[in-house]
Structure 1
Amino acid sequence: MNRTDRLYALVEELRAVSPRPRSARWLAHRFEVSTRTVERDISALQGAGVPIWAEPGRTGGYVVDRARTLPPVNLTPAEAVAMAVALHRLGGSPFASAAGAALRKLVAVMPPAAVAEAHRLAGRVHLVGDGPGTPVPAAVADAVAAGRVLRLRYADRDGADSARDVEPLAYLGNATHWYLVAWCRLRDGLRCFRTDRIRSVHPLAEPVTRELRPDDLDLPVDRVRPLTLV
């Protein structure tokens, strides 16, 4: 998550629980940053006029005046794709049609550039069956969205670690796990990395230049569903 998105997310997190406070430590864990970064972000928001104050004490923390802040009007591209992934799990339920209609309404009010970016990001997600429940590391998600090369430390099925630079191309999800589909420079080939086996992630400045072709994923066509926003 870049700083601009994090600043918006901080305000929304505080709005959601207002008038209860959130501590800097809790927010740091939530957004996967240091407490010092949270404190700098809060200071920047206060300097911009956002009505945030600190409540002292053991159960204290930061509070925002809900009545003097507005919720976001539009989804970001990543938020739209996140909703599409979540709604995919409703397939076959009584609410599948209504959920799809709700997402289309939200996408309809997004700026055209954001819609185009959301479709591009959704095109990098492929789901098998009902979709996964395990999380994807934030640094991996950010790098895939930004199209940046990643330096991974990855553990194989036996627990042996290896370091490798990869070009992230897509996600693949089944009923239990997310996989990062990437071109592995160590193996000089396409590989799927189970995200819960990624020990550490370091995004590099180098952009990804490869594209995933439809026939690159050697999977049964009738079981793989590309993610869509409509």
Structure 2
Amino acid sequence: MNRTERLYALVEELRAISPRPRSATWLARRFEVSVRTVERDLDALRESGVAIRSDTGRNGGYSLDRERTLPPVTLTAREALAISVALRAASATPFADAARRAAQKVLAVLPADVRRREDALAARVHRVGPHPDLPVISGAVADTVEDAVVASRVLHLTYTDRAGAISERDVEPMGLLWGPHGWYLVAWCRWREGVRGFQLHRIAAAAPTGEPFRPREAEWAAELDRLDAEALR
């Protein structure tokens, strides 16, 4: 169990017996770590806003205030990503710190597998420049693209460009770009042999091929640097 999974499990353990407490020693045995590690984890949870209280004495320990915490939330990774992206959009506002804390609280109560998928997606979403209202994206296309980005699998796209020309091509998805003209899939185009951006609302169809590929991290980083530089001009 990694630390992220343990933090989630600690909250759920305390929630299950609330309002009764658990001692740090009991929790350390339960999660097979040291008492010091448990205490550091509980401090981290409290710093992130989880309502954990500690009481001293013979019957003391750590307890959770149910009324001030979220129960486990049933969200898909895509729904979780939608929340985290929306909250990150507040980074340029006076509410940036509050948005960051809110995102931590929501993500902390998600199942471990959903959190891992959201983490993988969030690492592949980049924001550039101002953002107007974005076009609605087909659910089927968005889901297929999301899966391919996370799993590093080749996609076969049917794409309509701005001139109305339709083409088909195989691409290696690198990430998702949120820019002033909407959402883009940034991918290595095997037809053009280079990095290309595909507006998601212009993707008529996206079919998984099941073929894995080695992520082009250098190209992805270079493309993000280029886009950020252009946005500052």
TM-score > 0.5, shorter chain as reference: yes
> In the alignment, is the contact (CA less than 8 A) between 1:74 and 1:106 conserved in 2?
no
Which portions of structure 1, spanning 4 or more consecutive aligned residues, are displaced by more than 6 angstroms? none
Deviation of 1:78 after TM superposition, in Å, equals 2.9
Q: Does 1:220 align with 2:221?
A: no
> In the aligned structure 2, how far is the partner of 1:186 from the partner of 1:222?
25
Question: Which of these two proteins has the greater Rg computed from alpha carbons?
Answer: 2
Overall identity of the aligned pairs, in % = 45
Aligned counterparts, 1:67-216, within 5 A: 73=73, 75-131=75-131, 133-136=134-137, 137-138=141-142, 139-213=144-218, 214-216=221-223
173-182 or 210-219, larger mean C-alpha shift: 210-219
CA distance in 2, matches of 1:145, 1:80: 14
Q: Which has the higher helix share?
A: 2
TM-score, normalization: structure 2? 0.57
CA deviations on 1:175-223 (whole Å, 9 max, x unpaired) are 2311111111111111111112212211111123223321234223484
**Kept after mapping to 2: 8 A contact 1:153/1:200:** yes
Deviation at 1:74, TM superposition (A): 5.1
Unaligned runs of 5+ in 2: 1-70
Letter in 2 for 1:84: S
C-alpha separation between the residues in 2 aligned to 1:91 and 1:210?
Answer: 28
1:155 and 1:198 in contact (8 A); partners too: yes
Query: Contact 2:121–2:146 at 8 Å: present in 1 too?
Result: no
Alpha-carbon distance between aligned partners in 2 of 1:143 and 1:81, rounded to the nearest angstrom: 15
Give the root-mean-square deviation of aligned CA atoms.
2.6
Aligned length: 154
Q: Distance in 1 between matches of 2:174 and 2:208?
A: 14
Higher relative contact order (CA 8 A, sep 6+): 1
**Could you tell me how far apart the structure 1 residues matched to 2:152 and 2:136 are?**
20
SS in 2 for 1:91: helix
